[in-house]
Structure 1
Amino acid sequence: MSKKIVYSEKAPAPIGPYSQAVQSGNMLFVSGQIAIQQSTGNILKGSIEEETAQVMSNLQEILTAAEMDFSNVVKCSIFLKDMNNFPRVNEIYGKYFTANPPARETVEVSRLPKDVNVEISCIAVK
């Protein structure tokens, strides 16, 4: 099976040795995104809602580069620094999946890259 690297200039560049996404056949595996603003390269320092919206925007740009959108997403993983933020993250996340939401897990972790509060990855199918 072939492997194609997917890259969007409208999403933040990877901060390590990984790709924004890898497409294999009709499946797209999107790396975890954090609240990095592509325009500045800086972490968005705001509310958990603002961080989550930035993460979802970054995911959206990568999906678009693969000619997909949130309707193609079949699985998401959400990593939270504080599970008390779950309802607030869920409110923003839910705006992107208004019908037939994907499978998902949400876990609390002790620390995330760049000390952000939320990271989300996804798998999409064309």
Structure 2
Amino acid sequence: MTRLLVVIGGALGVLGRHEVTTRVRRWGATASGATLLINAPGSLLLGLVAGWSTPAVPDWLLPLLGVGFCGGFTTFSSHAVQVAAALQERRLLQGVADLAISLVLGVALASLGWWLTT
């Protein structure tokens, strides 16, 4: 049952990421900007789920939302490729800034979510 919850959550997360990315790219966002708009709320949601995961919470919550949905919705690999591309193209400031902003914002939002639910 746990695997099925992860699969369902992952499928919904991937579809959500596709929709958000497609829409924000149409509005003129860069690939890095679209990834940031995915990873930031995904980090907050994962922090909320992790903080809320106690023995009193249903067993399905973490596999469905935390592992499945957040795992499918957020994208570290796309972010890594975007930073690497910026560095290869000698856009050092953009690559380092993108990396720093994403890491700091992601950790801050995950921590905020965790703090709000504990």
> Structure 2 length normalisation: TM-score?
0.33
Bigger RCO of structures 1 and 2 (CA < 8 A, at least 6 apart): 2
> Structure 1 length normalisation: TM-score?
0.32
Q: Kindly indicate which of the two structures has a greater share of residues assigned to helix.
A: 2
